Amino acid sequence: MIVRLYLNDPPGRRCTLIHTSIEQLRDKYNLTVELVKKPDFAKLNNLPLLQFPAVEINGEVVFEGRDVSIAELEHEIQKRQGGVKWLRLVCYQRCY
Protein backbone atom coordinates (compact mmCIF):
# COMPACT_ATOMS: atom_id res chain seq x y z
CA MET A 1 0.00 0.00 0.00
CA ILE A 2 1.36 3.39 -0.96
CA VAL A 3 0.89 6.35 1.37
CA ARG A 4 1.90 9.77 0.07
CA LEU A 5 2.30 12.59 2.58
CA TYR A 6 2.12 16.19 1.38
CA LEU A 7 4.01 18.23 3.97
CA ASN A 8 5.12 21.80 4.47
CA ASP A 9 8.84 22.53 4.41
CA PRO A 10 9.88 23.22 7.09
CA PRO A 11 7.28 21.01 8.76
CA GLY A 12 5.00 22.50 11.38
CA ARG A 13 3.18 20.76 14.23
CA ARG A 14 0.51 19.11 12.05
CA CYS A 15 2.99 17.85 9.46
CA THR A 16 5.27 16.45 12.15
CA LEU A 17 2.35 14.70 13.89
CA ILE A 18 1.13 13.04 10.67
CA HIS A 19 4.63 12.00 9.64
CA THR A 20 5.34 10.48 13.08
CA SER A 21 2.00 8.63 13.07
CA ILE A 22 2.59 7.12 9.63
CA GLU A 23 6.08 6.03 10.64
CA GLN A 24 4.53 4.17 13.60
CA LEU A 25 2.13 2.35 11.25
CA ARG A 26 4.64 1.68 8.44
CA ASP A 27 5.83 -1.75 9.55
CA LYS A 28 2.50 -2.91 10.95
CA TYR A 29 0.75 -2.46 7.59
CA ASN A 30 3.74 -2.85 5.24
CA LEU A 31 3.36 0.70 3.90
CA THR A 32 5.44 2.37 1.27
CA VAL A 33 5.65 6.01 2.33
CA GLU A 34 6.45 8.85 -0.06
CA LEU A 35 7.03 12.42 1.10
CA VAL A 36 6.15 15.39 -1.10
CA LYS A 37 7.27 18.69 0.39
CA LYS A 38 5.51 21.91 -0.53
CA PRO A 39 8.30 23.35 -2.73
CA ASP A 40 8.38 20.10 -4.75
CA PHE A 41 4.58 20.03 -5.03
CA ALA A 42 4.63 23.03 -7.37
CA LYS A 43 6.61 20.92 -9.86
CA LEU A 44 3.85 18.29 -10.09
CA ASN A 45 1.63 19.75 -12.81
CA ASN A 46 -1.17 17.19 -12.97
CA LEU A 47 -2.24 17.25 -9.31
CA PRO A 48 -5.08 19.34 -7.92
CA LEU A 49 -4.21 21.96 -5.32
CA LEU A 50 -4.25 20.58 -1.80
CA GLN A 51 -4.33 22.11 1.64
CA PHE A 52 -1.23 20.97 3.47
CA PRO A 53 -0.72 18.66 5.25
CA ALA A 54 -2.52 16.05 3.19
CA VAL A 55 -2.51 12.25 3.19
CA GLU A 56 -3.09 10.16 0.08
CA ILE A 57 -3.60 6.40 0.31
CA ASN A 58 -3.37 4.38 -2.91
CA GLY A 59 -4.06 7.44 -5.03
CA GLU A 60 -7.00 8.80 -2.99
CA VAL A 61 -6.65 11.91 -0.82
CA VAL A 62 -8.22 10.97 2.52
CA PHE A 63 -7.14 13.85 4.77
CA GLU A 64 -6.37 17.43 3.91
CA GLY A 65 -5.48 20.55 5.90
CA ARG A 66 -6.27 19.30 9.40
CA ASP A 67 -4.96 17.37 12.38
CA VAL A 68 -5.21 13.61 11.96
CA SER A 69 -5.01 11.10 14.80
CA ILE A 70 -3.19 7.80 14.53
CA ALA A 71 -6.56 6.04 15.01
CA GLU A 72 -8.02 7.88 11.98
CA LEU A 73 -5.00 6.97 9.87
CA GLU A 74 -5.18 3.35 10.93
CA HIS A 75 -8.92 3.21 10.18
CA GLU A 76 -8.41 4.53 6.63
CA ILE A 77 -5.53 2.12 6.01
CA GLN A 78 -7.61 -0.83 7.21
CA LYS A 79 -10.54 0.20 4.99
CA ARG A 80 -8.29 0.15 1.95
CA GLN A 81 -6.67 -3.16 2.76
CA GLY A 82 -9.90 -4.94 1.97
CA GLY A 83 -9.63 -7.22 4.97
CA VAL A 84 -12.39 -7.57 7.48
CA LYS A 85 -11.03 -7.06 10.97
CA TRP A 86 -14.12 -8.23 12.79
CA LEU A 87 -17.40 -9.87 11.98
CA ARG A 88 -20.57 -9.72 14.03
CA LEU A 89 -22.74 -12.79 13.93
CA VAL A 90 -26.32 -12.56 15.04
CA CYS A 91 -28.00 -15.89 15.51
CA TYR A 92 -31.73 -16.28 15.77
CA GLN A 93 -33.34 -19.29 17.33
CA ARG A 94 -35.92 -20.81 15.11
CA CYS A 95 -39.32 -20.87 16.80
CA TYR A 96 -41.67 -23.82 16.26
Q: What pLDDT is attached to residue 40?
A: 67
pLDDT digits 0-9 by tens, 11-42:
889 999 999 999 999 999 999 999 888 766 66
Q: Was domain 2-81 assigned CATH 3.40.30.10?
A: yes
Our CA angle for 37, 52, 81, nearest 5°, is: 85
Domains of the chain by residue range: 2-81
pLDDT digits 0-9 by tens, 40-90:
666 655 566 778 899 999 888 999 999 999 999 999 999 888 654 444 444
Residue 6, number of CB atoms within 10 A of its CB: 26
Residue 8, number of CB atoms within 10 A of its CB: 15
Dist CA 18 CA 20 (whole Å): 5
On the CB side of 47, CA atoms within 13 Å amount to 17
Ramachandran region of residue 22, left (φ > 0), alpha (ψ -120 to 50) or beta?
Answer: alpha
